[in-house]
Chain A
Amino acid sequence: MRQKTPKIKNFKFLSHTADVKFQAFGKSLEEAFDNSTLALTNIICDDQIKGLKRIDIKVNGNDLESLLYNFLEEVIYVLETKGFLLDKVKKIKINKEKFRLEAELAGDKVKNYELSGHVKAITYNDMFVKHDKKKKQWICQVVVDV
């Protein structure tokens, strides 16, 4: 098995002593959230995941950070409790005022894959969600406990 580096440039991993830290980017908040899940999946599985199954999720937060935290936690939750391994986010809608998110996830049964990493929890450590006006992009930064 080959140890790969991320294929896609819409997120990047940063150095962190014990845990995994990443930044994800997007022209819209939705895209940045979507790319955050790609970074997360990149930690968990090296293989190409098939998007055969669909599930809908709804998440609430009190601010953008907690919305992102709860969104990513839901990805871990469906993995551990339903055996659903995320391939990609098919649809995502965020209400920035009320901090509500609805998404349709595509993925596959986890037992069909050999996983390469484990995410214990999402953390608030160094987390931010912000809009870079100069670059006209949203940035999400997350440290996950692995």
Chain B
Amino acid sequence: MTLAHHDYRLPRLLHPAAWWAWAIGLAMAANRTTNPLLLTLIVVVAAYVVAARRELGAASPFGAFLRLGLLAITLRVVFQVLLGGGTPGRTVLFTLPEIPLPSGSSGVRLGGPVTLEGVLAATYEGARLAAVLACIGAANTLASPRRLLRYVPATLYEVGTALVVALTYAPQLVDDARRVRVARRLRGHGGRGIRELARLAVPVLDSALERSLNLAASMESRGYGRSVHRDARSRRQATALTLAGLSGVIAGVYGLLDGSPAPLLGLPLLIVGSVAATASLAVGARRDPRSRYRPDPWATPEWLVLGCGVAAGVLMLVAAQRGVPGMVVQTSPAEWPILPWLPALGVLVALVPAWLSPLPPLRAIGPFDGLQDELQDVGATS
């Protein structure tokens, strides 16, 4: 890491963990409100940062996550319309023919009156999920999970490698299946139907198995798992510590995101988990003989991006706890949502990385421009 890395004007890829922390902060914010205005703001912020700081030419799953979010809203509303329940309401929009269910299934019905209140509540709930999905999609686009996996703790190296290999192999397996199915036509079969599927499975699995053997041979002869002379006990200790720490972190994040059971359980658990995970990192790294090629530096821009995400999350958290009006929109009776200004400002903090984080290298050069423009570009952003 050099001094230049602290300057956001130097184009480089940000540490993937920074973007993921930012996205988790934003997701935390989204999870604390059902206000459609705030949720829309969050999605817009995520989309803007993605548009501004996505590496050119890299895969962009953001759109797919947005579509998934729309699906979540639609499903939620459809179920509300069909099954009713949940929110009591008096404004009946229309009435579906009701199918009588055997008595005893109280609270569940099929068809019947559809109320505005119920539909609104379902939409807001769905929108909350959609906003969280958008945040995850933004993280996936800004820093691919594959890059993030490079930073799995040394003690979990094997798990990380397995995940990376799986990420490579899933699309290849799909490719294989397509090739085999196409070849099936050459033997005078359509490649459709159950029996055909069974026949296709054999060559696809065959080639998958062969490929894994090839890969294993290649990894073995390139020194994978090379005599790591650490004693079994300390390795088990480090692994246990790592697993406990990571579970702590996950449970803590869950607690923070969920908020309903005991909001205070989230933060302490997160802190304890982080400490345990860091300790395991230290223990594991001390014994790891492997080295890492061009690790991403963690410098000021990383802190800034992380801070912006966390600030947005924390501000929303506080606002929700204080009961700031507008965080939860009343649906019964339905009323217009208002935009609470303090939480909205909090969300806008997460927009800062769209300007104050380094440009990805390819975007900085631009698809057609040369080095000359790269220099000008750096000047222009300052």
User: Are A and B physically bound partners?
Assistant: no
Q: Which residues of B contact A (CB under 8 A)?
A: none
Residues of A within 8 A of B (CB): none
